[in-house]
Amino acid sequence: MKRRLALKQLTAVSLLAMSGWMPQVHAAGDTIKVGILHSLSGTMAISETSLKDVALMAIEEINANGGVLGKKLEPVVVDPASNWPLFAEKSRQLLSQDKVAVVFGCWTSVSRKSVLPVFKELNGLLFYPVQYEGEELEKNVFYTGAAPNQQAIPAVEYLMSEDGGGAKRFVLLGTDYVYPRTTNKILRAFLHSKGVKDSDIDEVYTPFGHSDYQTIVANIKKFATGGKTAVVSTINGDSNVPFYKELGNAGLKATDVPVVAFSVGEEELRGVDTKPLVGHLAAWNYFESIKNPVNQDFIKKWKAYAQAKNLPNANTVVTNDPMEATYIGIHMWKQAVEQAKSTEVDKVIASMGGQKFDAPDGYTIEMDKTNHHLHKPVYIGEIRADGQFNVVWKSKGPIRAQPWSPYIPGNESKQGL
Amino acid sequence: MTSTHTESAMLDGGPSGEAGYGRVSPGGLDTSHGAILYLEGITVSFDGFKALNDLTLDIGVGELRCIIGPNGAGKTTMMDVITGKTRPTAGTVYFGQSIDLTTLNEAQIAHAGIGRKFQRPTVFEQHTVFENLELAMKTDKRVRPTLFSRLSGEQADRIGETLELIRLRPEAALPAGLLSHGQKQWLEIGMLLMQEPQLLLLDEPVAGMTDAETERTGELLNELRGRHSLMVVEHDMDFVNQIAGDGKVTVLHEGSVLAEGPMSKVQADPRVIEVYLGR
Amino acid sequence: MKQTALTDLHLLARRPLYSGRAWAALAAAAAVLALLPLLNLAFPPGHALHVSAYAVALLGKFMCYAMAALALDLVWGYAGILSLGHGLFFALGGYAHGMYLMRAIGRDGVYQSDLPDFMVFLDWKAYPWYWSFTEHFWYAMLLVVLVPGLLAFVFGYFAFRSRIKGVYFSIITQALTFAAMLLFFRNDTGFGGNNGFTDFKRILGFDITAPGTRAALYWITLAALAGALVLARAVTQSKLGRVLTAVRDSESRLRFIGYDPLGFKLFVWTLSAVLCGVAGALYVPQVGIINPSEMSTETSIEMVIWVATGGRGTLVGPIIGAGAVNGLKTWFTSVLPEFWLYALGLIFVLVTLFLPTGIVGLARRLAVRFQERKA
Amino acid sequence: MRIAAIAHFLRRFLLGWLLAVPLLSAPAPAAGVDPALLAPLAGDDTDAKLRAIAALGQLPDPGAAAVLQALGNDRLYATADGRVLVGDGARAIDPATGAAADLPADAGAIGINNRLRRAIEAALAGSRLYSADARERLAAARRLQQAGDPARLPMLEKALAVEKHDEVRGALEIAVANLELKSADPAVRRHAVELLGRTGNPAFRSTLAALAQQADGPQAEPDAEVREAAAQALRQIDRHLATIEWAGNLFYGISLGSVLLLAALGLAITFGLMGVINMAHGELLMIGAYVTYVAQTLFRAWLPGWMDWYVLAALPLAFVVTALVGMALERTVIRWLYGRPLETLLATWGISLMLMQGVRTLFGAQNVEVGNPSWMSGGITVLDGLVLTYNRLVIIGFALFVVFLVWALLNHTRLGLFVRAITQNRRMADCVGVPTGRVDMLAFGLGSGIAGLAGVALSQLGNVGPDLGRAYIVDSFMVVVLGGVGQLAGTVIAALGLGGVNKFLEPYAGAVMAKITILALIVLFVQKRPQGLFAPRGRSVE
């Protein structure tokens, strides 16, 4: 009995030791710690792992060029394991234990939402690299992915245009979580403004990891008999493969019913047999197939890095939009720090606005002065047989983000912080 | 009565209707016709195979009845029927004049005053001998009373007496799992006694016992005779001779009664010799 | 002579809740844990005695897990009922409390609406009926107990009545939990879908992120855990506890001596669910989020693993197990993010193979050997 | 299955161009496509491109067709000096001269979008109407049914006049009718409407609906009789649609059922017969799928000519690999845990974690690409409108085959006899000299191997990634429990039943609620029959 409880105390103490009660020895001072908070296991690992790698690459690159403020960057990688509470715990650890100057991470909206309170409480700095639903603006977060008006709305406009096939009816198909819900809400409002009736909009949601799309594809076919139809897919990463396979085999070709996806990029297409998908579309702010020196350099660096670190399937690695966004984020942060001559969060935030960076997407893009989002160009690409995208439309230039979509009532007032 | 049971079971999850018997018996049981157990035309069939076939049999108050019969004669099934483990396909089972056992579940039947000892001794091996008896002890066995029950002095005394009776006093604090086979048999009998049943069903009580143990068990049963009604299923003829005395012996064969009467008469019966003793 | 004999029988009959030493050890452990938030508040960061807020928050979380593990041990360790669905009760408790916390946000949400943000983007104009009264803290607390309790009672009643045992029971609890998870994932269900509840602002008017509030929550959790431990101990030490172990070892025999297992199973099953719900309710304000992933198969199985690692049927074991496993998880995910699953997986395998009685069992064996060595 | 596959393969051969990927490269064009026509293709002006494509479509010259086809497959290149070349691997042919040369380094592929693709298909269809092969003509006619351009009417009628093949004639008549809807003569219109109605083809639904509504509709139909006829036709089509939908649900149900069945069969042995709560079962499925991926990669590298058969090669491979993994598990871990089912749950859970991470380390966390072989892509259209996809048809067949395999193994082999003996009474079996140790290992290996086979099948439907297994583990257990542990027949019926119910619920309840309802039903059902569909009865129950 006694020993049993003695053991209990012992565990309690050793636990504290583990969880960093004991004063930890940090090689602080000569390096700047940078947190990387991406799931390396669990369901989200599929998408997030490559972001971790690209972040490490960027850090290596920066260090090779003399680091920041004469100090080397020291990446601190943790695995929140696709578990949202763990995201919160890990961010707290990064900020309060490892004392990182900045955190690059998160993919899903829920992971971002679960870490937000921590970042606010401890006044940390988060760079969020994924396109999302908007409707959020936090002092402690910089959003280097697209807001809905930088991705969804142009895509739908294109579908309605003559080149896009002049779609009259729309199937808004998504996984049932906040990003699709909000995006579709915005799109519906937008379509209304374009005179599309509700009877011509079909909103369908599937659970996470849904893998049987027979019925849904059949319904799309049925719906398409009512007139020229296009599908706007906000299906979450994993479910895309079964969906596209079903689509291809059911003989729904892009020439009949084009599908434009917001969560399908080069990385996702690695996992699909793309031949039946030729002609389906995706809207992003960056495609690997964009031709410009910066991008070629970016791709070259990435492939070289993959080889050097011999990542799995190193010879087939691709770049995609969130990876580019991560890359931009890290470099912009570096610039901001150098301008602020300090890694202090408030100073860095202050000097982030207006930062410019020659991005692989072919433009010198700018961090908005007020709303913590990037001005980004929009590209629409058709899937090619080789898993790359063939750009069929691009915006005139970078577009300013509207985190508060004008299509959602009550947002008119909200601008900037 | 069943309705009140299910209902009360929903309330406190415990058998309350029959807990009544637990409290009032033995006096409460109506045995005015001198018999404590009636089996009438019992038939049990598993997928066509008839384990019991129109079995009819009754046991008098205070009687010690030995049941013999070859394997597969349906002895164990009969006990299953009486204790509610198996429901008969046809026929009625009455405990005393009034209680229809076919409507009760195991726990309720146990409360009604029927105790059973299994072929293989089954005791709670993780519990001490003392705890085994304590669990079996006759008391209100519903959830709440059990949760708050404290062992009273005389209850402890009763356990003590039983321990003496089954000669396990020294092992009182031992986990039952550590007992020898024979000791387990006795412990189980002890548990039966703690239940203060009016009818004891004993399935091969001396199986696997040493001669000494068998001897002792015989004495034990004889002590019980009169105080309780007993039904003993046994193979061991010498043992049956020892305990049956001039009491009735029933021979089962293929699920129904083949012969009934004093040991001597039964042993003489040619049909019995044919199916059983002969071989 | 008989007299003395009887008295020692009485000794057998009387079981103390804990031995004096055990009480002392428990108190000591509790004291150590209770001290930490003070150290956090009292000493400045960098001071040798300073405990980081992170450590406190982490331990607070672990204690919630420990409580859930304790609850699971009651049913699995004692009554032999393995539930693969305790994550459900945990989450339900959490959601019940979360509803109050969401209401407490008031108009400070993104949309400055009376409704939670997720209802706004669903275009809901009013709270659905099952949200009514949840703005009252005590009503929410009532739900914390009632919802898991009732669900467990009803489900348990039918399952135990039709004598579903062992693996079957485990699998259908899993089915139930899985179904519930899918249900809560739907945004239309009205519990925030995949995002669940998050971004809480205040609890009973106190700022939920303030160190003071944190410390208070921590202490409440500690108290709850200690209380749960004593309660569980009392139950298992009572005669009912012995009936439960009898259910585990030979249910049919128990019937023949006149106990109806249904009620006993139902009692402990419901009790366990309620404890689990309370743990969940304490968990939510401390981690700041509750969402359906708490109902995933993984979570429930991990709970079982905490119990197994600590030692089932020992009450203290599960608490240690929850702490140890989660501690390792936290540690591994930082020091070897790429490979921690190997380590964790291996531990599970080794524990099942070589520590069937868990850490506590091992400790006991060592203790015995130690004493033999001394003797 | 093999024969059908080959037959289909040939068919695909001829239809190759219609699909996104041709199975053979285009025939070298004969000399003489006017460069003036080709030039715009290289330009940026979409309308000019469209005009050029239409013009090329009118040319009888096969060279023109070859150009369009190349354009359709991203094989048409434009050089810096404005020449347009038909690429063919490293070589290129100048359609203007017909001369073959190496593809110049500066030549870039001409990108196209869906709009151009549609135009190309239409244009090609025009010329294909005179193809020697009836199938091509049919396909072309079908294609033209969709195009609503009245200018094509004479062309169609010309083709119809010379067409002998009945099926093609039918298709052409419909195409004509579709255009005749715009005819000035009400009688013609009515005839056309009736014809379209008889097809029951949903594609015409919208046009007919427009006709049926009152004269003030967008496509005003003055003639009342025609409107009536249109309404009639509409009803015909809707009836047809209803039948299709019902048949569709049935098929979807069966195919989903067969997937569940495959996923659960292995478990029916390891869990059902051996009582091991094998939480790593899902990971065994996953390994099977990854073996398929490896097989595909190997074929790509060494036997590109045989790509279509890599799946067949993957089957035995997957079986062996997963079986070995399974046996390894059994020897090292599970054998120590027999009779402690709940402990096996924990151990196998740990194993599943390690297997998943192992795959991540080996193949990366991302999904890997596993393509359908050509004979498993696409589908056949039945009841003109319902597409039965080949991969699902094949998998249904495969599931039945595996069930038969298992049944035969269990009931007609010594191993099966031993396994059944052990499941009934391990100690007794031991006594009568059944080598329980070896049998356990083999049985577990068998179960795992079957999981591997299922993995191959799953790789043809969904994504192949480290989490593949997690998606199926719960469902698999549901199926086995519902079917009744140790009851093969039960497993089969349970799987198909679940699939069917799910698919018939989905259209009304939606995907999520359908699944929830199913789970709720299972929980209720198990209340009624704790032992599953086929419960063993008798004294042995307790």
Six-digit token string for C104: 């407490």
* Mutation for D interface: C189, C341, C346, most D CBs within 10 A: C341
Task: Answer for the pair B77, B52: CB distance below 8 angstroms, yes or no.
Answer: yes
Least confident of C169-178, D19-28, D30-39: D19-28
Max mean pLDDT range (A248-257, C170-179, C268-277): C268-277
Rg (Cα) of chain D, in Å, rounded? 30
CA dist B37 and B19 (Å) reads 20
**Position A123 pLDDT exceeds 80:** yes
Ramachandran category for residue A195: left, alpha or beta (phi over 0 → left; psi -120 to 50 → alpha): left
Taking Cα atoms as reference points, which of D369, D365, D348, D349 lies closest to residue D357? D365
Task: Answer for the pair A172, A232: CB distance below 8 angstroms, yes or no.
Answer: yes
| Mean pLDDT on A216-234 | 89
* Mutation for C interface: B80, B101, B106, B201, most C CBs within 10 A: B106
CA dist C52 and C36 (Å) reads 9
**Position D13 pLDDT exceeds 80:** no
Instruction: Compare A213 and D339 and report the one with higher pLDDT.
Output: A213
Q: Is C9 close to B115, i.e. CB distance below 8 A?
A: no
Partners of B123 on chain C (C-beta within 8 Å) are 253
pLDDT tens-digit readout, A35-58:
999 999 888 888 899 999 999 999
* A275 interfaces chain D, CB cutoff of 8 Å: yes
CA-angle at D33, arms to D28 and D37, nearest 5°: 130
Q: Is A88 close to C291, i.e. CB distance below 8 A?
A: no
Which residues does residue B259 pair with via DSSP β-bridges, in sequence order? Answer: B251
pLDDT tens-digit readout, C102-133:
999 888 887 778 888 888 878 888 899 999 99
Q: Is C12 close to B105, i.e. CB distance below 8 A?
A: no
| One-character DSSP codes across A122-145 | TT--EEE-S--------TTEEE-S
Task: Answer for the pair C232, C268: CB distance below 8 angstroms, yes or no.
Answer: no
Taking Cα atoms as reference points, which of B178, B179, B232, B172 lies closest to residue B201? B232
* A to D CB pairs, distance under 8 Å: 181
Q: Say whether A303 sits in a helix, a strand or coil.
A: helix
Partners of B116 on chain D (C-beta within 8 Å) are none
Q: Does residue B26 have a cis peptide bond before it, meaning omega lies within 30 degrees of 0?
A: yes
Six-digit token string for C150: 């009732």
pTM, rounded to two decimals? 0.86
State the nearest Cα–Cα gap between C304 and chain D, in angstroms. 8
Strands A201-206, A126-128: parallel, antiparallel or unpaired by DSSP? unpaired
ipTM of the complex: 0.83
* pLDDT at residue C265, rounded to an integer: 95
The amino acid at residue A119 is: F
Six-digit token string for A97: 């234990």
pLDDT exceeding 90 applies to what percent of chain B? 0
Partners of D538 on chain B (C-beta within 8 Å) are 46-47
Taking Cα atoms as reference points, which of C314, C108, D364 lies closest to residue A48? D364
- Report the chain C residue with the minimal C-alpha distance to residue D473: C297
Task: Answer for the pair C60, C286: CB distance below 8 angstroms, yes or no.
Answer: yes
* A to C CB pairs, distance under 8 Å: 188
| Mean pLDDT on A404-416 | 76
| Mean pLDDT on B33-59 | 84
Residue position matching structure tokens 């006594």? D431
Partners of D511 on chain C (C-beta within 8 Å) are none
Cβ atoms within 10 A of the Cβ of C310, count?
33
CA dist D259 and D394 (Å) reads 11
Of the candidates D275, D350, D356, the beta carbon closest to that of C348 is on D350
Least confident of A208-222, A295-309, A342-356: A208-222
Rg (Cα) of chain C, in Å, rounded? 22
Taking Cα atoms as reference points, which of D346, A4, A89 lies closest to residue C307? D346
pLDDT tens-digit readout, D279-291:
999 999 999 999 9
CA dist A243 and A249 (Å) reads 10
**Position D206 pLDDT exceeds 60:** yes
Instruction: Compare D5 and B34 and report the one with higher pLDDT.
Output: B34
**Position A317 pLDDT exceeds 70:** yes
* C304 interfaces chain D, CB cutoff of 8 Å: yes
**Position D437 pLDDT exceeds 60:** yes
Taking Cα atoms as reference points, which of C292, C289, C295 lies closest to residue C101? C289
* Position D219 confidence tier, pLDDT thresholds 50, 70, 90: low
* pLDDT at residue B204, rounded to an integer: 84
Q: Is C255 close to B105, i.e. CB distance below 8 A?
A: yes
Q: Say whether D536 sits in a helix, a strand or coil.
A: coil
Q: Is C243 close to B146, i.e. CB distance below 8 A?
A: yes
> Chains near C, with 3+ CB pairs < 8 A?
A, B, D
* D111 interfaces chain A, CB cutoff of 8 Å: yes
Task: Answer for the pair D526, D481: CB distance below 8 angstroms, yes or no.
Answer: yes
Q: Can you list the alpha helix ranges (DSSP code H) found in A344-385?
A: 345-352
Q: Is B47 close to D539, i.e. CB distance below 8 A?
A: no
Q: Is A251 close to D379, i.e. CB distance below 8 A?
A: yes
Partners of C260 on chain B (C-beta within 8 Å) are 9, 13-15, 105, 107-108, 141
Q: At what angle do helices C137-161 and C166-185 cross, to 10 degrees?
A: 140
Q: Do chains B and A touch (3 or more CB pairs under 8 A)?
A: no
* pLDDT at residue C3, rounded to an integer: 41
**Position D352 pLDDT exceeds 90:** yes
Taking Cα atoms as reference points, which of B196, B190, B27, B40 lies closest to residue B110? B196
Max mean pLDDT range (A311-315, C102-106, D335-339): C102-106
* Position C266 confidence tier, pLDDT thresholds 50, 70, 90: very high
Six-digit token string for A3: 């020993």
| Mean pLDDT on A285-305 | 94
| Mean pLDDT on D351-356 | 93
* C252 interfaces chain D, CB cutoff of 8 Å: yes
Length of chain C: 375
Of the candidates C297, C338, C348, the beta carbon closest to that of D346 is on C348
Residue numbers of A between 161 and 200 with CB closer than 8 Å to D: 162-165, 176
**Position D466 pLDDT exceeds 70:** yes
User: What sign for the dihedral angle of Cα B91, B96, B99, B102?
Assistant: negative
Q: Write a three-state SS string for B35-46.
A: EEEEEEEEEEEE
Question: CA-CA distances (angstroms) from residue A325 to A302, A322, C59?
Answer: 14, 5, 36
**Position D14 pLDDT exceeds 50:** no
Task: Answer for the pair C164, C173: CB distance below 8 angstroms, yes or no.
Answer: no
Taking Cα atoms as reference points, which of D279, D313, D320 lies closest to residue D293? D313
Question: Distance of alpha carbon C306 from its chain centroid, rounded?
Answer: 10
pLDDT tens-digit readout, A148-195:
999 999 999 999 998 888 899 999 999 888 889 889 999 999 999 999
Residue position matching structure tokens 């109902």? C295
CA dist D58 and B75 (Å) reads 96
pLDDT tens-digit readout, B234-260:
877 778 888 877 788 888 888 888 888
| One-character DSSP codes across A319-330 | --HHHHHHHHHH
CA dist A202 and D157 (Å) reads 39
